[in-house]
């Protein structure tokens, strides 16, 4: 399409277009950051790594906001004794999952459906990364509680990591089925709210945050939701 | 043949968007004409492996897109410009084109040169480092064209590619199409008949989900002789075929 001035007058044995393109390629080349290089090596796919580092809910602003909210919750917990961190964290993680992938979140989602890198793989690596980030927050909170001698490590595990898995899987399944991150957020938060409030109403406390007997039901629920998301993102069947 | 289609249909609930299309196309520039709602975009999306057909036979680049492995290989050799191009506002032109080069699984070492070549071919060299949110609609269309051709596709599907381009850019774009059509199958869906007349070697006209004309632009022009509607000969042919199909 483009013919730059002077190219027509170049000697026939000089490929000015080729030289120009080679120079432009070097000047315009993007240098991937360390996280993207590591992801490309681990995933064996530069495309998947690029899709991972562009996850909207893993951008720096989102991570900083997560840390700020959870730190405020931790301070409030220490001050009042009410488990605000455990109450807030699974809902926050669900929002992170819902905003990790999908139409309306990825502007070029429609175009990405025609790409060789599987969009299901993009969904899975992004979901995994958000889970991993939240698990890291959970471990940091556990370590902090041990150092403070408050003995809330178990509460963090039962009240955050296990419910987080179930609530995130619900948000993921709802967002994938409805093809809307907002629906995923609403479903995740509604599910979590119902679980907390129902426990509070019947037992006068928050058994969903502390009762180890709920681990297996939570994980089974998470597995069902993950299967739903897996089915909803199955490859389209053409006919031939 | 790069495209082999037989009895292809696509339904959306009660609406039959594509109603039994038969089509074969090899290298060259192939124009897909038709009024709004004729089924052009649905047909193109099926060829882009984005939309599964309801029934019929579809083979692309001698492969079956219904199976995972062949579909992945097709997608590596496919270029697609959707009608509505979504974009990341904070990406630069180069970052956007590179992103899709990587998603097409181009070898990473080849990507920078391929991106530079595609950006130059789309006449975006001066805007290579500009953020997409700062570009005009016509420039964004050219960014979409650049991402579609970055992998030098064997099958290039363009949905309304000249929408928003100024006359000078449209002339240059038709030249690019003819160049690409030397080795690849280029399918251009448009309602601008002058694009078809200037760049396409073959043309199909769709109406209500069916192909009602298939031939060369000259044959379409000939169908319009003696028909009064339309300013240009090709427009008269387009109008005559549609009138006949609707009657």
pLDDT digits over B17-67, tens only?
A: 999 999 999 999 999 999 999 999 999 999 999 999 999 999 999 999 998
pLDDT for the residue numbered B232: 83
CA distance A52 to B1: 37
Using the beta-carbon criterion (under 8 Å), do A239 and B112 form an inter-chain contact?
no
Contact check, Cβ <8 Å, B102/A113:
no
Whether B235 and B205 have beta carbons less than 8 Å apart is answered as no
Q: Which B residues 111-170 touch A at CB under 8 Å?
A: 111-113, 115-117, 119-123, 125, 128-129, 147
For chain B, give every domain's residue range.
80-152
For residues B188 and B166, give the distance between their C-alpha atoms in angstroms, rounded to a whole number.
18
Indicate whether A67 pLDDT > 70.
yes
- Assess A120–B contact: CB distance below 8 Å, yes or no: no
Nearest-angstrom CA–CA distance, B217 and B200:
7
Does residue A41 fall inside a structural domain? yes
- Give the span between the Cα atoms of A53 and A92, in whole angstroms: 20
Q: Is residue A90 domain-resident?
A: yes
Strand locations in chain B, DSSP E? 3-12, 15-25, 28-33, 55-60, 78-81, 155-159, 185-189, 202-207, 210-215
Which of A92-96, A133-137, A153-157, B216-220 comes out lowest in average pLDDT?
Answer: A153-157
Of the residues B50, B83, B103, B126, the best mutation for testing chain A's interface (the one with the most A CB atoms within 10 Å of its CB) is B103
- Examine the pLDDT at A140 and tell me if it is beyond 60: yes
Cα gap B166→B138, rounded to integer Å: 7
- On whether the CB atoms of residues A133 and A58 are closer than 8 A, the answer is yes
- For the CA atoms of B110, B111, B113, B114, the dihedral, rounded to the nearest 10 degrees, stands at 100
What's the CA gap between A131 and A160, in Å, rounded?
11
pLDDT, tens digit (0-9, with 9 covering 90-100), for B121-176: 998 999 999 999 999 988 999 999 999 999 999 999 999 998 888 888 888 888 88
Closest CA to B207 of B11, B18, B34: B34
Chain B, window 56-115: residues with a beta carbon less than 8 angstroms from a chain A beta carbon? 56-59, 64-68, 71-73, 75-76, 78, 80, 82, 84-89, 94-95, 98-100, 102-105, 108, 111-113, 115
Q: Give the SS3 label for residue B16.
A: strand
Distance CA(A53)–CA(A43), nearest Å, equals: 12
Q: Which range (A111-120, B46-55, B214-223) has the least confidence?
A: A111-120
Give mean pLDDT, residues A206-233.
72
Residues 6+ away with beta carbon under 8 Å from A150: A78
Q: How many CB pairs under 8 A join A and B?
A: 140
Contact status, residue B40 vs residue B187, Cβ threshold 8 Å: no
Beta strands at B55-60 and B202-207: parallel, antiparallel or unpaired = unpaired
Instruction: Report pTM.
Output: 0.81
Task: Check residue A224 and give its pLDDT.
Answer: 81
Residues in B touching A237 (Cβ below 8 Å): 52, 66
Q: Which chain A residue has the Cα nearest residue B81?
A: A111
pLDDT at A239: 41
pLDDT surpasses 90 at B207: yes
Whose CA is closest to B3, among B50, B57, B59? B59
Cβ separation A50–B99 shorter than 8 A: yes
Terminal-residue alpha carbon distance, chain B: 34
- Determine, for residues B102 and A22 on separate chains, whether the beta-carbon distance falls below 8 Å: no
Residues whose CB is less than 8 angstroms from the CB of residue B47 and which lie 6 or more positions away in sequence, other chains included: B3, B5, B58, B60, B155, B157, B187
CB B74 within 8 A of CB B155: yes
Indicate the helix (H) or strand (E) that contains B49. Answer: none
Give the Cα separation of B179 and A15 in Å (integer): 18
pLDDT of residue B61: 96
Distance, first Cα to last Cα, chain A? 37
Domain that includes residue A108, residue range: 34-232
The nearest CA of chain B is from the CA of A47 a distance in Å of 4
- A1 vs B119: CB contact, 8 Å cut-off? no
* Residue A161 in domain: yes
User: CB contact, 8 Å: B53 with chain A?
Assistant: yes
Query: How does residue B233 score in pLDDT terms, banded at 50, 70 and 90?
Result: confident
Residue of B116, B133, B142 to mutate for A, most A C-beta atoms under 10 A: B116
Question: In the prediction, which pLDDT does B147 show?
Answer: 96
Whether A22 maps to a domain, the answer reads: no
Which conformational region is residue B105 in: left (phi greater than 0), alpha (psi within -120 to 50 degrees), or beta? Answer: left
CB nearest A2 (choices: B88, B104, B123): B123
A18: pLDDT strictly greater than 60: yes
Please indicate if any CB of chain B lies within 8 Å of the CB of A234. no
Is residue B8's pLDDT more than 90? yes
Query: Using a CB-CB distance cutoff of 8 angstroms, which residues of chain A are in contact with residue B154?
Result: none
Q: Using the beta-carbon criterion (under 8 Å), do B87 and A107 form an inter-chain contact? A: yes
| Within a domain: A118 | yes
Query: Of A21, A50, A239, which is closest to B102 when you measure between CB atoms?
Result: A50
Chain B residue numbers with beta carbons less than 8 Å from the beta carbon of A110 are: 50, 82, 84, 86
- Please tell me the least confidently modeled range out of A183-192, B42-51, B112-121, B195-204: A183-192
Model pLDDT, residue A238: 43
Q: How confident is the model at residue B11 (pLDDT cuts 50, 70, 90)?
A: very high
Beta carbons of B103 and A45 less than 8 Å apart: no
Distance CA B149, CA B115 (A): 9
Asked whether residue A214 is domain-assigned, the answer is yes
Confidence grade of residue A179 (pLDDT, cut at 50, 70, 90) = low
- Chain B residues inside the 8 Å CB shell of A107: 86-89
Distance CA A222, CA A188 (A): 11
Q: Total structural domains in chain A? A: 1
d(CA A51, CA A139): 26
Percent of chain A with pLDDT over 70: 78
How much is the pLDDT for A201? 61
B48 versus A111: the higher-pLDDT residue is B48
When mean pLDDT is compared across A67-81, A145-159, A161-175, B94-108, the lowest value belongs to A145-159
Residues of B in contact with A4 (CB under 8 A): 125
Residue numbers of A between 145 and 164 with CB closer than 8 Å to B: none
What is the model's pLDDT at position A155?
Answer: 66
Asked if B94 contacts B129 with a C-beta cutoff of 8 angstroms, the reply is yes
pLDDT in tens, B55-84: 999 999 999 999 888 999 999 999 999 988
Q: From CA B115, how far away is CA B119, in angstroms rounded?
A: 6
Does residue A15 fall inside a structural domain?
A: no
Q: In sequence order, which residues have a C-beta less than 8 Å from that of residue B214 and are 6 or more positions away?
A: B23, B202, B203, B204, B205
Whether A45 is in a domain gets the answer: yes
CB contact under 8 Å between A2 and B108, yes or no, is no
Q: Report yes or no: B114 and B151 within 8 Å, Cβ to Cβ.
A: yes
Asked if pLDDT for residue B201 goes beyond 80, the answer is yes
Chain B closest-CA separation from residue A80 CA (Å): 42
């Amino acid at each position: 399409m483009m013919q730059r001035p002077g190219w027509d007058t170049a000697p026939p044995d000089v490929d000015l277009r080729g030289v120009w393109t080679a120079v432009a390629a070097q000047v315009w080349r993007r240098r991937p950051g360390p996280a993207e290089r590591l992801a490309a090596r681990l995933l064996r796919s530069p495309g998947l790594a690029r899709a991972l580092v562009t996850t909207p809910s893993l951008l720096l602003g989102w991570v900083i906001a997560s840390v700020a909210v959870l730190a405020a919750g931790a301070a409030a917990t220490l001050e009042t004794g009410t488990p605000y961190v455990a109450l807030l964290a699974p809902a926050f993680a669900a929002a992170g999952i819902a905003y990790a992938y999908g139409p309306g979140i990825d502007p070029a989602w429609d175009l990405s459906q025609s790409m060789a890198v599987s969009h299901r793989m993009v969904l899975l690596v992004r979901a995994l990364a958000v889970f991993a980030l939240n698990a890291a927050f959970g471990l940091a909170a556990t370590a902090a509680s041990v150092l403070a001698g408050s003995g809330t490590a178990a509460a963090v595990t039962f009240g955050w990591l296990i419910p987080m898995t179930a609530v995130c899987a619900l948000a993921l399944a709802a967002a994938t089925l409805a093809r809307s991150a907002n629906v995923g957020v609403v479903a995740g938060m509604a599910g979590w709210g119902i679980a907390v409030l129902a426990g509070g109403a019947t037992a006068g406390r928050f058994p969903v945050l502390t009762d180890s007997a709920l681990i297996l039901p939570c994980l089974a629920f998470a597995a069902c939701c993950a299967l739903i998301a897996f089915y909803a993102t199955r490859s389209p069947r053409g006919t031939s | 043949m790069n495209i082999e289609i037989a009895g292809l249909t696509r339904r959306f609930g009660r609406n039959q968007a594509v109603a039994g299309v038969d089509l074969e196309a090899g290298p060259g520039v192939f124009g897909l004409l038709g009024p709004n709602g004729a089924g052009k975009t649905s047909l193109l999306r099926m060829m882009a492996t984005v939309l599964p057909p309801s029934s019929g036979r579809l083979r692309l680049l001698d492969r079956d897109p219904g199976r995972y492995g062949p579909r992945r290989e097709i997608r590596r050799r496919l270029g697609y410009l959707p009608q509505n191009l979504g974009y990341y506002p904070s990406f630069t032109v180069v970052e956007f084109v590179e992103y899709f080069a990587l998603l097409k699984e181009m070898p990473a070492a080849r990507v920078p040169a391929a991106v530079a070549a595609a950006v130059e071919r789309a006449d975006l060299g001066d805007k290579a480092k500009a953020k997409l949110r700062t570009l005009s609609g016509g420039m964004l269309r050219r960014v979409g064209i650049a991402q579609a051709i970055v992998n030098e596709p064997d099958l290039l599907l363009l949905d309304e590619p000249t929408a928003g381009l100024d006359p000078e850019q449209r002339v240059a774009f038709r030249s690019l199409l003819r160049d690409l059509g030397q080795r690849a199958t280029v399918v251009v869906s448009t309602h601008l008949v002058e694009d078809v007349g200037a760049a396409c070697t073959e043309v199909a006209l769709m109406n209500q989900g069916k192909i009602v004309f298939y031939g060369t632009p000259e044959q379409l022009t000939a169908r319009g002789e003696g028909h009064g509607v339309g300013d240009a000969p090709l427009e008269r042919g387009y109008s005559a075929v549609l009138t006949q199909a609707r009657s």
